[in-house]
């Protein structure tokens, strides 16, 4: 039986961190056994806010690909490709821009939020406003049935559904309306306690050396009320404990929480347990990263294969689109 198709992508706007790993890539690895998955490096998306520095966007493409594979994406089970290598995305984006009312784009909640967040960049561009449209093209060009999203991203998918519906109503039924594959994304704090983000400079990267990871965790923010070793702490207020919830076993979580509340352990003891568990996850990734970095031909071959497969699927859809619109 034909598996249902899933599509998801990640912007090449910097290095991959453990928030990306546990929030997206590990979920992709699970999905590749259940669905027909298409995963891509969204380099054009990264340009919508990073257009002033295209070389940085370009440079992080390989880092993403290496980390996708190192974290367990299997090119025999899923299709891994680079967005800008499939020119059909741009054609569909253009055609969709003809039929999408401006108001739909302006009302996307993150449009103004992100402009605020990245105040130092000039984001009053068409490309930035049209971001959801490019995202829609990415999804519907593969006629994907599902897109893994968190609850807060459902409105983003709604616009893609509306645009697909509008195309189908105006011309012919070409696109299935993509559905949300609701996914719980764990909240991953950065080393300063804020959300882990490249732009905050608080991330632990998959490309960090073991020494760097250890140093970052050892200097990580804790419950601010626990100043001295004898102070009792509240684990729920400590970003270190939030990472324990992701990386440590239930027994270990209970032990460190108890030790924190009673001042039975120091923060360094607590962090050592976390370091051990983060290493357990990262060590196989580091080993696989080293293999891939040492064999650029393999990475190229895997990506070319993925690009070709994606291009074939995108071309099939564009054939239907041109036919529906009467543009041969
Ligand atoms: S003992 Fe652990 S959980 Fe408690 S404040 Fe220190 S680092 Fe955070």
137-178 per-position pLDDT tens digit: 999 999 999 999 888 788 889 999 999 999 999 999 999 999
Q: Which atom of ligand 1 is nearest to the CA of 239?
A: 8
Whole-number Å distance between alpha carbons of 211 and 204: 11
**What are 37's strand-pairing partners?**
6, 78
The residue among 169, 141, 196, 105 whose CA lies nearest residue 321 is 141
Name every residue whose Cβ is closer than 8 Å to that of residue 282 and which is 6 or more positions away in sequence.
Answer: 18, 206, 210, 213
Cα-to-centroid distance, 74 and ligand 1 (Å)? 37
324: pLDDT strictly greater than 80: yes
Using most ligand atoms within 8 A of CB, pick from 189, 218, 220, 223 the residue to mutate for ligand 1.
223
Query: What are all long-range contacts of 94-98, with beta carbons under 8 Å and residues at least 24 apart?
Result: 95/321, 95/325, 96/133, 96/136, 96/137, 96/163, 96/167, 97/130, 97/133
The residue among 171, 125, 88 whose CA lies nearest residue 163 is 171
Q: Which pair of tokens denotes residue 46?
A: 């990264």
Q: Share the mean pLDDT of the chain.
A: 94
Cα-to-centroid distance, 233 and ligand 1 (Å)? 7
How many helices, marked H, and strands, marked E, lie in the chain? 15, 5
- The per-residue pLDDT for range 66-116, each reduced to its tens digit, is 999 999 999 999 999 999 999 999 999 999 999 999 999 988 877 677 777
Cα-to-centroid distance, 161 and ligand 1 (Å)? 44
Rg, C-alpha atoms of the chain: 22
Helix, strand, or coil here: 107? coil
Looking at the annotation, which residues are catalytic? Answer: 114, 195, 198
- The per-residue pLDDT for range 101-111, each reduced to its tens digit, is 999 998 887 76
Whole-number Å distance between alpha carbons of 274 and 242: 10
């Amino acid at each position: 039986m034909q598996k249902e198709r899933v599509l998801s992508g990640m912007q090449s706007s910097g290095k991959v961190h453990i928030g990306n790993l546990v929030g997206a890539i590990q979920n992709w690895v699970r999905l590749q056994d259940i669905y027909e998955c298409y995963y891509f490096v969204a380099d054009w998306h990264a340009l919508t806010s990073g257009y002033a520095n295209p070389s940085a966007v370009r440079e992080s493409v390989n880092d993403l690909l290496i980390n996708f594979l190192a974290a367990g994406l299997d090119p025999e089970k899923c299709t891994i490709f680079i967005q800008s290598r499939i020119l059909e995305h741009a054609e569909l984006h253009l055609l969709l821009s003809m039929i999408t009312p401006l108001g739909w784009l302006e009302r996307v909640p993150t449009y103004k939020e992100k402009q605020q967040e990245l105040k130092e960049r000039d984001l009053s561009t068409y490309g930035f406003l049209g971001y959801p449209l490019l995202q829609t093209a990415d999804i519907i060009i593969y006629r994907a049935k599902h897109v893994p999203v968190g609850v807060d991203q459902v409105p983003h998918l709604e616009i893609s559904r509306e645009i697909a519906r509008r195309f189908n109503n105006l011309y012919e039924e070409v696109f299935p309306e993509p559905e949300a594959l609701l996914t719980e994304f764990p909240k991953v704090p950065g080393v300063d306690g804020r959300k882990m983000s490249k732009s905050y400079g608080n991330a632990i990267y998959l490309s960090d050396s073991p020494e760097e990871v250890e140093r970052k965790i050892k200097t990580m923010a804790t419950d601010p009320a626990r100043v001295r070793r004898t102070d009792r702490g509240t684990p729920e207020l400590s970003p270190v404990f939030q990472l324990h919830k992701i990386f440590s076993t239930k027994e270990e979580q209970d032990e460190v929480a108890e030790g924190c509340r009673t001042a039975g352990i120091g923060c360094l003891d607590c962090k050592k347990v976390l370091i051990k568990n983060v290493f357990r996850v990262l060590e196989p990734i580091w080993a696989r990263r080293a293999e891939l970095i040492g064999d650029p031909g393999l990475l190229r071959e895997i990506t070319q294969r993925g690009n070709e497969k994606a291009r074939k699927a995108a071309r099939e859809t564009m054939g239907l689109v041109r036919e529906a619109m009467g543009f041969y």
